[in-house]
Structure 1
Amino acid sequence: MFRKKAVFTFLQAQVAAFLGGITDYGLMILLTEVFKLHFTFSILISGTVGAIINFSINRFWVFKNQSGYSSPINSQLFKFALVMLGSITLKSSGTLILQKVFQIDYRIGRLITDLFVSYGFNFPLIKYWVFKVNEKQNVIESN
């Protein structure tokens, strides 16, 4: 039962990340290609919009039964903002490094960087820090 719920939560979180990510990526391309912003600035703007979408889906759908309504939104927003600030910094830096050092097109470099940042940074921090299940609630759910 626990594994099934954990896998379902992980898959839901991936849907939230995908929807936020596709918005983020599409907006980055638009801002860079059409509005001619440098991709690092585009990532900053698009990452913020994607983060708002991601947070909303995570709070109201993915983690709502675990901690979404039991934790104050201000606390979650603050923590989420810190995670997203780190995420955007890692994505911008990683994309820039891949483009400058390895001559990888920024669009491809961004996808590569996103894979590492999403699974190695964002998901663990969002699940275990931003929307952390408190011990009392965990005991209630397992009974």
Structure 2
Amino acid sequence: MLTYLKAQASSIMASATDFGVTIIAVNLFGLWYLAASIIGTISGGVFNFYVNRKWVFQSQSKDVKWQVFRYILVWLGNLAIVTSGVFILTHFFNLNYVIAKVVSSVLTGISYNYIMQRQFIFTS
């Protein structure tokens, strides 16, 4: 249970990074919301890998390259799911891109990220 709670805390911090970068990219730099969402997702993903490896799952594996490879595979799935969700919710349902990103990210986090990280990336 503690690992799950730490993973959720890490996810919240990574999401804050992701959303902050996304909002800044749109509002300050005028990027298209989907491009900004991708950049934000990359930023949050890098943050999340580091925190999960060191703090959440306390990985002792010396083979960091293999973990990075597996993380990238899972993260690409996350990127595709979240970006598709943001596009669908903004384009077809006229939701604000921030709300669309929150909905897509929360649903993906609950249904995909924790399970894949626990079972596939940071296995003991």
Q: TM-score range by the shorter chain?
A: over 0.9
| Matching residue of 1:83 | 74
The number of residues matched between the two structures is 124
- Return the structure number with greater helix share: 1
- What is the correspondence of 1:18-33 to structure 2 with a 5 Å cutoff? 18-33=12-27
Structure with higher Rg: it is: 1
Q: Quick one: which amino acid aligns to residue 83 of structure 1? A: V
- What is the correspondence of 1:38-117 to structure 2 with a 5 Å cutoff? 38-64=32-58, 68-70=59-61, 72-117=63-108
Specify every segment of 5 or more residues in structure 2 that has no aligned partner in the other structure, as ranges: none
Q: Distance in 2 between matches of 1:132 and 1:126?
A: 8
CA drift of 1:71 comes to 5.2
- Aligned-residue Cα RMSD (Å) equals 1.0
Q: Is the Cα–Cα contact under 8 Å of residues 76 and 130 in structure 1 kept in the other structure?
A: yes
Q: Distance in 2 between matches of 1:71 and 1:89?
A: 29
Structure 1 consecutive aligned stretches of length 4 or more whose deviation exceeds 6 Å? none
Identity across aligned pairs (percent)? 28
Q: Quick one: which amino acid aligns to residue 123 of structure 1? A: Y
Specify every segment of 5 or more residues in structure 1 that has no aligned partner in the other structure, as ranges: 1-6, 134-143
